[in-house]
Structure 1
């Protein structure tokens, strides 16, 4: 406890870190206030009755979880940040198939600005399609003035709410601490956590032993998730002897390339969930039994498709994040080599082979964690708390919290302070003798 208090004092002493954390908290507060501002022309009594009778395990419960309650309140932030996530997915997929987008990705900062501009335009287009579906299928009965002017106003407000949330996320990334978009999603999830805990453990009449088993299972899932998210395969690297000044020879140094078991982080989960929201919304407009199955979070069609998407996106995002050829070139340029492997192409192939092998168990784990809520539901755990017994919520929370803690720790270490954890180092982050990838 003494070390924790000392760490908080060190954070406060570091002016840049203190300002970044305060700015991040301020922007999060603005985002949360926005989620409580209801669209004009909505009957809140009807919305409250509708939410009381809705199934927390369906599309409403999940989308409301990501929006921090804004979805069920018909808030100006009801669409949340997911349209921007969907637009980002589309742009990244285009980057693999469209030469023009590939060229922009290689143009450095100027290309990044162009891609961000197209992503924003695509976000508006996606909002223009999702907005009417949301208002018509979910809010419909609560609309007081169902006129053309109201629909125009409501659509503009919903689009503006999503764009404002996107802007807040970008400001957190640039001026605050952590990845802004991921933090906003995490904040929305955490906003529902206290009520889920109260519903499952305070108002429940389950036996004490059963409640204890639930808590043990919950913490066990968190610990295993942290283990996999932070897991690293250290690939040994040797550096050739170098001739120092005066003809003296320096001994060869040994280092490691840290290849993470889950190099893609939480992005496969976020991407898969964004893709799943499309057929879930379409299910309200069709009688397809398969699409209707995707609307139920506890059904096997939803969990099967969701698990497959997570595995696919894990490989996809890992391929974007980890570039074996670039790592091999950097090693060769610095006089480094993997013992028993020739520099250049052979080194790149070795790294690619190792990344492919460790990504497979990582992707399977992510998929299994994602479908745990369905098994928790079958075991009799309440729908709201079941969403936190694994699935998207626990993966995003653990991943984002760890990433944010690592960034804070980096600031502290740069100021010669101890880190947040014992020994000043969060397990899984790059050590002093590890090569950056």
Structure 2
């Protein structure tokens, strides 16, 4: 892979693409430090303290590359666009018109992307309002104007224009990041949205390294051993992610010979690569978002030490669906593991159904040796997919609960979770694969022009 990077830098065209991508990432980091209008700078430190105890906000801050703790215009990152993509993908099996667009090639893909952008705008407004209101109530539960995140209190009814201005600015920041990702797709090395998320996570690495160094300097011998154990587990996790992400089962496919005029087509063999983890990071995001939601809602009503049946019910949900709650750690980890495994199977089946491999094989004269084309081929592929997805689902479930297991084993808690590792490693591997594909394509071009 390092040789591929060195070769890519030596080629003027690829070098320009790499430099353009780095420029877009630099612009993204500048945008991440521009605060929204009407922000109260004296309460930002309270916001950072609130983020340390809010699991949903930590997840959103991860995708925003730390922009949420500064409450910048990029505080939502590209998460609304990812949500819109997931919704469109899940709706395709249910809406025939979307299925037809998927089969129309490049034009259909462009129209689906346009629908995703349209859906992103209302989702971004909803997320901006809910996210801001949650953080405002977290640091200012008594509606004290002096403790508000904003100079003018956040209220659509009493202060519509300032509040709407904040929401619109946050939505505009998200759309700007999406535009940067599309520019990376067109003029950079591709995989733009993922690279934006990748850049946000990697930008936090220096601070995390400094945090680990401070822990080792201030701690005793057991703390240093815990930090070494943490690093060892992180390295093993990276190796495991690479192996699972690259793991695949190759199904041999034979194509029948067809005679057209004086020419013979087909007769060659190929294979279908079924990945161990076809769902990527989506199941982790689904599971974490759903399991955190009840605890977040309960935190709006729960008051520690207060009496009443309502407060007791809110306290039960708050502690159960919170990894740091009293007695909720085991329940939280168990539910998170099961949800991750379940969503991995669900999303894998959705993606596999949309590809319609059995019908495409039959249409092109391909068949799996020993398997009848059509329905039998579909059943065989689904059986193999379910079998190999078990390994991928269990691995993702382990990745989901690994931070809590690591903290209990080593006693060290550092902000880079396993979800971030999965994103960073996955995007890095995909980017390197795209660079290698670009190099191979240029080698073929050079061969053809000789």
Give the TM-score taking structure 2 as reference length: 0.79
Please list every run of 5 or more consecutive structure 1 residues that lacks an aligned counterpart in the other structure: 418-437
2:342 counterpart of 1:312: yes
Q: Contact 2:65 / 2:200 at 8 angstroms: preserved in 1?
A: yes
Compare 406-415 and 46-55 and name the one that shifted more.
Answer: 46-55
Q: Contact 2:277 / 2:392 at 8 angstroms: preserved in 1?
A: yes
Q: Contact 1:283 / 1:295 at 8 angstroms: preserved in 2?
A: no
1:219 is displaced (CA, Å) by 0.7
Q: 1:297 to 1:90 in 2, by over 3 A?
A: farther
Q: Which residue of 2 aligns with 1:233?
A: 249
Give 2:229's match in structure 1, choosing from 213, 220, 235: 213
Q: 1:317 to 1:179 in 2, by over 3 A?
A: farther
Q: Which residue of 2 aligns with 1:407?
A: 434
Question: What does residue range 54-133 of structure 1 map to in structure 2 within 5 Å?
Answer: 54-55=51-52, 58-133=55-130
Q: 1:294 to 1:65 in 2, by over 3 A?
A: farther
* Secondary structure in 2 matching 1:224: helix
Q: 1:267 to 1:182 in 2, by over 3 A?
A: farther
* Secondary structure in 1 matching 2:92: helix
* Secondary structure in 2 matching 1:415: helix
Q: Which residue of 1 aligns with 2:9?
A: 12
1:31 is displaced (CA, Å) by 1.3
Q: Which residue of 1 aligns with 2:318?
A: 292
Please list every run of 5 or more consecutive structure 2 residues that lacks an aligned counterpart in the other structure: 141-147, 154-158, 303-313, 445-450
Q: Contact 1:82 / 1:274 at 8 angstroms: preserved in 2?
A: no
* Secondary structure in 2 matching 1:379: helix
Compare 129-138 and 103-112 and name the one that shifted more.
Answer: 103-112
Distance in 2 of aligned mates of 1:73 and 1:341: 58
Question: What does residue range 38-437 of structure 1 map to in structure 2 within 5 Å?
Answer: 38-52=35-49, 54-55=51-52, 58-139=55-136, 141-146=148-153, 147-204=159-216, 205-207=219-221, 208-238=224-254, 254-273=269-288, 275=290, 279=294, 281-287=296-302, 288-289=314-315, 291-293=317-319, 296-298=322-324, 299-322=329-352, 326-332=356-362, 336-385=366-415, 387-388=416-417, 390=418, 392-416=419-443
Q: Contact 1:243 / 1:250 at 8 angstroms: preserved in 2?
A: yes
Q: 1:16 to 1:318 in 2, by over 3 A?
A: farther
Distance in 2 of aligned mates of 1:277 and 1:31: 28
1:113 is displaced (CA, Å) by 4.0
Q: Contact 2:291 / 2:321 at 8 angstroms: preserved in 1?
A: no
Q: Contact 1:137 / 1:284 at 8 angstroms: preserved in 2?
A: no
Distance in 1 of aligned mates of 2:271 and 2:16: 34
1:240 is displaced (CA, Å) by 5.7
User: Deviation string for 1:240-276 (max 9, x for gaps)?
Assistant: 67999999x9997554322111122233334444555
* Secondary structure in 2 matching 1:384: coil
Distance in 1 of aligned mates of 2:167 and 2:25: 24
Distance in 2 of aligned mates of 1:75 and 1:55: 18
Q: Contact 1:324 / 1:348 at 8 angstroms: preserved in 2?
A: no
Q: Contact 2:39 / 2:151 at 8 angstroms: preserved in 1?
A: yes
User: Deviation string for 1:55-111 (max 9, x for gaps)?
Assistant: 257333332222111111111111221122222222222223344444444454454
Q: 1:293 to 1:187 in 2, by over 3 A?
A: farther
Q: Contact 2:298 / 2:318 at 8 angstroms: preserved in 1?
A: yes
1:335 is displaced (CA, Å) by 5.2
Q: Contact 1:237 / 1:336 at 8 angstroms: preserved in 2?
A: yes
CA RMSD of aligned residues (A): 3.4
Q: Which residue of 2 aligns with 1:425?
A: none
Q: 1:236 to 1:99 in 2, by over 3 A?
A: closer
